[in-house]
Structure 1
Amino acid sequence: MRGYLLFEDGTKFEGEIFGYQSESVGEVVFNTGMTGYQEILTDPSYYGQIVVMTYPLIGNYGVNSEDLQSSSPKVKGFIVREIYDDFSNWRGEENLKQYLVRNKIVGLKNIDTRALTKFIRERGSMAGKIVINRDYEKEDILQIKQFKNNKAVEKVTTKEIYNLKPKTYKVAVLDFGVKKNILNSLLKRNMELIIYPAFTPAEKILEDNPDGIFLSNGPGDPAELTEIIENIKKLIGKKPMFGICLGHQLISLALGFKTIKLKYGHRGTNHPVKDLVKNKIYITSQNHGYVVEESSLNEEVIITHVNLNDGSIEGLRHKTMPLFSVQFHPEASPGPHDTAYLFDEFKLMIQREEL
């Protein structure tokens, strides 16, 4: 079945529908990862977005239940150059097309993804609509223009507090759209986890007396989350704190800094980041559309990491309080394991505060 991706100026990228047959509106973004499509599909940070994969062949190792990062896909659509249904992998349980159909996610294949990615790079991330086998109408353009990815964190956070228990230190995890492997990365370090809904009051968290606080990844514009920012202000300095991705941005806003939207964001598994403290370069997994504005920083923090592609801030550490954060995803789902050391540093920070 023919279909196309439509933008508000009438620009169309034509292809064929695969997966679930439906129409969908979302923010169109691209990801440069060669692998990891099922982690991308199930990453809550992609809530409300139509994801374009720049790597041309997708689906060749199928889908399995172990690598999913949440209970279901969070994307609004999935766009590829070529889809491969006859997967070949001993861990594969079903093909990508079957998975998308089962989860009611529309896909577009045989799209010129190189041209589409160049279009997004030139124009910046914008909303679009996947349209099935018909001419577009004024209502389609209006729907695209009116699209807002509002209350995204509210849609992906846990509805109830729950516990995951190995031992040693007790860590409060604020769930803004946490991925499974982030929790696994903390559990591997023998931490007991209490996972809280995103809007849990600071008083409740402090009442439970955790040894440390972890702020997760998540979707959307951080500056809109004013209630969460106020809660983080009450938590900063009370317990050791580590934030990643959206958590990093929210910590910065709570400290009085500013965030700005990137033209087309950082999404992929191959972004070079320099750790200025260790004087080493790491390859990182990234998924965000906003960054902390360097000119808004004060002398209370130091920049620990920078993006080598565009020089943007990728990490901060407070000079006097047990607090640090990074913009990328150190748990490597998908992506390299280069920066898993940050979870160890978080544990060491908790240990030092306990002494």
Structure 2
Amino acid sequence: MKAVLGLEDGTFVVGDGFGVEGRCSGELVFTTQMTGYMEALTDPSYAGQILMFTYPLIGNYGVDLQNFESPRVQAAGCVVREIARVPASRPPVAEYFEENALLGISGVDTRSLTIKTRTCGTLRASLIVGGEDGNEAVRLARSAPPITGTDLIERVSCTAPYTISGPGKRIALIDLGVKRHIIESLRYRGAEIHVFPHNAAADDLMAAEPDALFISNGPGDPKRAAGAIRCVGELAGELPIIGICMGIQVAALALGAETYKMKFGHRGTNQPVRYRDGKIYITTQNHGFAVDEESLPEGCTVSYRNVNDGTVEGFENSDLSITCVQFHPEAHGGPRDTEMHFFDRIYREIP
């Protein structure tokens, strides 16, 4: 079965399709991770995007449901150089894609596509599985809406509140597309977690009598998270606020700062960040937007910075008890360098 990937700049590549016949559109983004492919594909932050792996062989240990960060694959499509047909364990990725009506393409030059993305910036793309009409794929890519104009958070947020019991501190979590292991990291420390939809009102959150507010990761443009931005603005100074990934962007916007779309973002399990004490940590990341440092209001200090490009990877406001990071300290996949460093500290500091 043939497949074709088309980009809005007119480029298209033909390869071998896996999964089922169909078509999808979205931003083409790349991740540099060598392992953790199912964690990436099931990360809700990839909703609405076509995910390309730079590592040349994907799927060599099959599909394990324990690795999922949400109940299903969230990426619109998957692009790989080579898909492992006989993995160490079953089922193979290609078989899982077929059984779950997912779309993928292999046998394409992911290196050249990655270089193009780094040079031109993130491009809209379209994947057609079961065909090889490059002109049609390009047309579909050009007609795809930009990610800034798409409400992706609603697709991945829970639709009703729920509670995860625990003997410890009570945390209200706004679900913008939360990864499973963020919740697991909080559960491990004994937290009682009250999870709310993205559009929950501040009064609803406070009715749970939380000790802290947690803003999760999520897909797309943080400015689309209007409900969460409003909640943080209303509750800042009332209780500690913690954010991860989109959570840092939401907190910044609520304080009057700005965010911007990055040229091609940070996605992978090998992103170095420097903490304010000079120590460097290797982190898992998945974001295409960042906080504009110059726009941060007085009282906010940058706590982490990306070693590669100097962008903001964390900020704090001690007066308002706000602690946020752009990277994923819970990892999964990726190194756990910052799991204890971050979660132990923020949990300990919740009164």
Give the shorter-chain TM-score range.
Answer: over 0.9
Counterpart for residue 202 of structure 1 = 202
Counterpart for residue 125 of structure 2 = 128
Counterpart for residue 102 of structure 2 = 105
Cα distance, 1:56 vs structure 2 = 0.4
**Deviation per residue, 1:305-343 (Å, 9 max, x gap):** 000010000000003121110000110111100111211
Is 1:95 the equivalent of 2:80?
Answer: no
5+ residue gaps, structure 1: none
Cα distance, 1:139 vs structure 2 = 8.5
Alignment partners' CA distance in 2, 1:16 and 1:134? 10
Is 1:2 the equivalent of 2:2?
Answer: yes
Contact 1:25 1:144 in 2 (8 A): no
Bigger shift: residues 17-26 or 255-264? 17-26
**Deviation per residue, 1:36-92 (Å, 9 max, x gap):** 10001100000000001000010001111111000101111000001112111xxx4
Alignment partners' CA distance in 2, 1:240 and 1:61? 41
**Deviation per residue, 1:144-185 (Å, 9 max, x gap):** 334234110011000111111121111111100001111100
Counterpart for residue 287 of structure 2 = 288
Bigger shift: residues 71-80 or 128-137? 128-137
**RMSD of the alignment, in Å?**
1.4
**Deviation per residue, 1:207-250 (Å, 9 max, x gap):** 21111111100001012323331122012111111100001100
Q: Secondary structure at the match of 1:332?
A: coil
Cα distance, 1:298 vs structure 2 = 2.5
**Deviation per residue, 1:278-319 (Å, 9 max, x gap):** 321000000000000111123211100000010000000003
Contact 1:216 1:243 in 2 (8 A): yes
Change (3 A) 1:95 1:225: same
Q: Which residue, out of 96, 113, 121, partners 1:116?
A: 113
Counterpart for residue 146 of structure 2 = 148
Letter in 2 for 1:312: T
Cα distance, 1:93 vs structure 2 = 4.0
Alignment partners' CA distance in 2, 1:342 and 1:140? 43
Contact 1:62 1:94 in 2 (8 A): yes
Alignment partners' CA distance in 2, 1:51 and 1:142? 17
5+ residue gaps, structure 2: none
Q: Secondary structure at the match of 2:104?
A: strand
Letter in 2 for 1:225: A
Bigger shift: residues 181-190 or 5-14? 5-14
Alignment partners' CA distance in 2, 1:233 and 1:185? 26
Letter in 1 for 2:314: G
Change (3 A) 1:138 1:53: closer
Alignment partners' CA distance in 1, 2:199 and 2:183? 19
Q: Secondary structure at the match of 1:66?
A: helix
Alignment partners' CA distance in 2, 1:255 and 1:349? 21
Q: Give the % identical residues.
A: 40
Cα distance, 1:9 vs structure 2 = 2.9
Matches within 5 A, 1:118-197: 118-131=115-128, 132-137=130-135, 141=139, 144-149=142-147, 150-197=150-197
Counterpart for residue 252 of structure 1 = 252
TM-score, normalising length: structure 1 = 0.95
Alignment partners' CA distance in 2, 1:230 and 1:308? 32
Counterpart for residue 303 of structure 2 = 304
Counterpart for residue 85 of structure 1 = 85
Letter in 2 for 1:117: T
Q: Secondary structure at the match of 2:66?
A: coil
Alignment partners' CA distance in 1, 2:67 and 2:50? 20
Counterpart for residue 64 of structure 1 = 64
Counterpart for residue 13 of structure 1 = 13
Alignment partners' CA distance in 2, 1:146 and 1:65? 31
Change (3 A) 1:298 1:310: same
Change (3 A) 1:143 1:52: closer
Counterpart for residue 271 of structure 2 = 271
Contact 2:25 2:76 in 1 (8 A): yes
Contact 2:125 2:138 in 1 (8 A): no
Cα distance, 1:20 vs structure 2 = 2.0
